[in-house]
Amino acid sequence: MRVRAPATAANLGPGFDIAGVAFDLWNEVEIGEGNGHVDEENLVVQAFSRFASPKRRAFHFVERIPRERGLGSSASAVALGLVAGALAAEVEASADELLELGLELEGHPDNLAAALAGGVCLTWEGRIARVADDLPVSAVAVIPETRVLTADARDRLPQAVPHEDAAFSAGRAALLGAALAAGSPELLAASAADRLHEPYRAEEAPHLAAIRSDLPDGALGATLSGSGPTVLVWVERGRETEVEGVLTTRFPDHDVRRLAVTPTGAGPA
């Protein structure tokens, strides 16, 4: 069997640990008969084991999602294994059920929910609400060569923040939810700020402040993708090429690319 799972971006700015989106960039696994030697530390294999034994199977991977860049490579791996395992066991499982089984392996439900369900998702208490097939804007990703471990980025976050910062981010999160529900570029642009996690991760993504301080014409805002260091620049429809060109010139050492939202989550390739 051959299964694929998409890249994802979590948080989308103020939607900390709840909002995620799936992008049309895919990792794949092909599973066939093997000689009994399986890497049981591999996330795909561990997730597959939730449904079926990996023994006497061979796992062949195609990896297109950059690792440790905030684009959900680990969530994609878990989604691959869960979906492939369920297919091998001939078990029909909902996205919510797969999410519950995968959380022990992928501790970030916002990424995993989007990888499983596709589109734009909100997740809380083990539940997934798929709120839209697409974003009201386009996304241009600015991906540096440096890597950030999610656990290290999480450790940088304080245990408490000032009330003013909490209120600021809560307000922006409300704007984000409204933007997704209404399909409004203006509301999404207004939501593109955060004080709960982005300021504490900014050292690993200095290009975030540089982009925000001088947005290219046609760009509406910028946010970290997950814990970074990738930055997502929100762009008016029809101006993607213009903004991509400006950012490529400004950041020649970075991988600058458009990422389209996919309404499809992990499944057979």
> In order of start, what are the domains of the chain with their CATH numbers?
2-132 (3.30.230.10), 138-259 (3.30.70.890)
Find all residues with CB under 8 Å of 37, minimum gap 6, and list them: none
List the one residue out of 124, 121, 71, 73 whose CA is nearest residue 100.
124
- CA proximity to 24, closest of 11, 10, 5, 43: 5
pLDDT at 36: 73
Give the pLDDT confidence score for residue 150 in this predicted structure: 84
**Per this entry, what is the length of the chain?**
269
pLDDT 10s digit of each residue in the chain, 269 long? 999 999 999 999 999 999 999 999 999 999 999 887 888 899 999 999 999 999 999 999 999 999 999 999 999 999 999 999 999 999 999 999 999 999 999 888 999 999 999 999 999 999 999 999 999 999 999 999 999 988 888 899 999 999 999 999 999 999 999 999 999 999 999 999 999 999 999 999 999 999 999 999 999 999 999 999 999 999 999 999 999 999 999 999 999 999 999 999 999 99
> Angle 95-102/73-89 helices, nearest 10 degrees?
120
Amino acid (one-letter) located at 76: S
